Amino acid sequence: MTQCEIHRDPTASVEDRVIDLMSLMTTTEKVAQMMQLPAWSNPRGVIERHPVGSLLHTDPATIDDAIDAAAATRLGIPLLIAEDAIHGFGFWPGATIFGTPLSMACSFNPEAVERAARITAREVSATGVTWTFSPLACVARELRWGRVAETFGEDPHLIGELAVAMVRGYRGSGDDDPTRILSCAKHFAGYSETQGGLDASEADLSPRKLRSWFLPPFERLAKEGADTFMLGYQAIDGVPITLNRWLLEGVLKQEWGFGGLLVTDWDNVGQLVRVQQVAADFAEAAALAVHAGNDLIMSTPEFHDGALEALRRGLLKPSDLDGAVRRILSVKFRLGLFEDPRRPDVARQRIEIGCQQHRAANLDLASQSIVLLTNDGVLPLRGEAVKVAVIGPQADDMAACLGDWAGASGQCPWLDDPSLAPATTLLKGLRAAAPSGWEIAHARGCGIDVLVPNPAGEFFDDGQPRPKICHPAPLGDAELAEAVTLARRCDVAVVAVGDTINLTGEGRSTATLELFGPQRELVDAIAATGTPMVVVLLNSKPLVLPESARRAAAIVESFNPGAAGGDALAAVLLGEREPSGRLPVSIPRHAGQLPVFHNRIRGWHGDRYADLTYRPLFAFGEGLSYTTFEYSDLRATHVGDDLEVCVTLTNTGDRVGTEVVQLYVQDVVTSVTWAEQELKAFRRVTLDPGVSRELSFTIPVAELSIVLADGSRVVEPGEFEVRMGHSSKPEDQLRHRLWIA
């Protein structure tokens, strides 16, 4: 075997294969390997223009052609094919679509989330896709932000637990597992801390604030095996993340030891010229991006010519490209793509995608993610010949269950037909599950929104379509009257309200959190009938509820629960499954309270406004069951390097139920200001009526650290308070103090 054939030898080391292949590559081919471009329905055209290293948004029908086109290039370097499989493979007909990450987070169940990611990997890998842009590890404190649904909520510990679980699920048994896909931790870092909720606005974050709350989930992902990191759109303290060497080189690579790929988000490098205007042209932007340590440049076709021009000007040296190309090729060799480019497997698709086992797991996770917020006893629904009015614009809308990045959400032109990504709606779920003799009647009552053209034009400067503008849907008197009449003649009214795909997602932040359009008038009108009202929220993020909804007989939060959402809601409303979801994010009383979150910094006059309490309407960790639980005998002991905590939990009701036990810790006196409390552990516990169980938790003392003014993390000796209970609310917690030296 000659030297130039080593890269084709599967028995050679990855390092030797990379060195050999790079010795054969031209500078132009290296630049092309650093490019990731959308293929849509023409991957061959993209690859024939530039032998790119990666494609995204590739029409599934063309993936075989994309692989063939890559194989036909001079060196035949295989592709990394990426897609936004955020909560299931939302862009494949019939795939298993789970609830959004925010919905999944309500389960407080890392094992179930890992199972969902494993199912996603099995389905995705059968289609020829090798890389998902998930999980998102942003901390959601600004709820007007359009991408809250993609997060696991407001708490760094919960986010870290669930994000790491997803990475494990995507990985499977490792590189040799044919069902393994690459994971992507995003958006590094601080992207969610926007100004006024506006997506991709400059993030007002100090290095200490980053280290305290926004970096810990990413540090866990870096150290526990995330394959890639995606960089946020925004800038911090004037420096775009794409160019932030302190974060990329200093923190991520040097401190945390991350050696995987860095990929920009969509056109980050182009926006250095077009929007942020920190580069004069694409040659300068390309040079800055390479020097900052970026590997794959997503959706900036100008990078190719810009990088070559930067080389001609001396802004880049040819060797400056080698680190990125080495990392890209290493991933491809580790995955075995040179021997098996992982073509679509039709036989596996027929067996795996949307199979009964996957649908059952989806129903389980959706059921565990439904949060019962209030209940005067109307739930579970029971009785003989019950008449149920199912009302509201979300009651029979599949998109309300699927949410963003799925079905006809707008990011996927080959899946515009909603029937290709079916979901069970609330109405269909209740009709299928209701006892014989029940009447399940329906009236929409009102719409939510209508779209009008964007006054700034149909397209952005880079050719991407601008989102249209949402206006409130008109209130139809006849449609509202039909819903009111139906509610009056029924025993209970289940009113489903929320938001739409037009009001959520990338580039779709909202100025308020109120129920949009005429939904408030609908809820007010149904409440005025006197019929017991159950409000079901099908929404992308927490919404501010009108007083009529707050006084409802019950409030159920389901966010966007996925394709099995209607079945899961019906099972919970009818008492066939116990509600066990808990809020991963606080629900404010008013958007003016934002940000409102449980682990806020202790302040002076920060406990209320002159006209409103600071306390949210519903706090992080809240959620009811159809039974009741009691905590007792809380004990905490410092043993070696660990904090040992024990508590007794008793089911004091008359039904089996699942409690989410939550352990918080407060450092009582700190040398710098710090959080009122921090979540350090949680556990789902199922108990039969009358049964007690002693639970024990072990917390490494190192996790009781705080961040000092210089950015260092230390555990300060002193008094700590352990808080154990049903939620983050003080009245739901037992407390125990101890000294840690």
Question: Using CA atoms, how far apart are residues 35 and 304, in angstroms rounded to an integer?
Answer: 8
Position 1 scores a pLDDT of: 46
Cβ proximity of 387 and 489 under 8 Å: yes
The candidate with the shortest Cα–Cα distance to 404, out of 183, 589, 133, 106, is 133
Cβ proximity of 137 and 184 under 8 Å: no
HSE-CB for 279 with a 13 A CA cutoff: 24
The candidate with the shortest Cα–Cα distance to 91, out of 112, 67, 61, 113, is 61
| Tokens at 580, concatenated | 């066990």
Question: Using CA atoms, how far apart are residues 11 and 340, in angstroms rounded to an integer?
Answer: 14
Residue type present at position 91:
F
Residue type present at position 660:
V
HSE-CB for 426 with a 13 A CA cutoff: 38
Low-confidence ranges of the chain (pLDDT < 50): 1
Question: Using CA atoms, how far apart are residues 240 and 276, in angstroms rounded to an integer?
Answer: 8
Residue type present at position 64:
D
Question: Using CA atoms, how far apart are residues 690 and 681, in angstroms rounded to an integer?
Answer: 25
- Tokens 């949060």 correspond to 371
**Rounded to whole angstroms, what are the CA distances from 289 to 32, 286, 316?**
15, 5, 11
Q: Which helix (H) or strand (E) holds 186?
A: strand 184-188
The candidate with the shortest Cα–Cα distance to 411, out of 359, 492, 465, is 465
Cβ proximity of 180 and 124 under 8 Å: no
Position 316 scores a pLDDT of: 98
Position 602 scores a pLDDT of: 87
The 10 Å Cβ neighbour count of residue 591 is 18
The candidate with the shortest Cα–Cα distance to 296, out of 238, 227, 199, 222, is 227
- Tokens 């081919």 correspond to 29
| Tokens at 71, concatenated | 């194989």
Cβ proximity of 137 and 218 under 8 Å: yes
C-alpha 486: how far from chain center:
37
Position 4 scores a pLDDT of: 64
Q: Which helix (H) or strand (E) holds 557?
A: strand 554-557
| Tokens at 329, concatenated | 């090729």
Cβ proximity of 295 and 35 under 8 Å: no
Position 3 scores a pLDDT of: 53
Burial class (CB within 10 angstroms; exposed 0-12, middle 13-18, buried 19+) of 387: middle
Question: Using CA atoms, how far apart are residues 85 and 329, in angstroms rounded to an integer?
Answer: 23
Question: Using CA atoms, how far apart are residues 51 and 329, in angstroms rounded to an integer?
Answer: 13
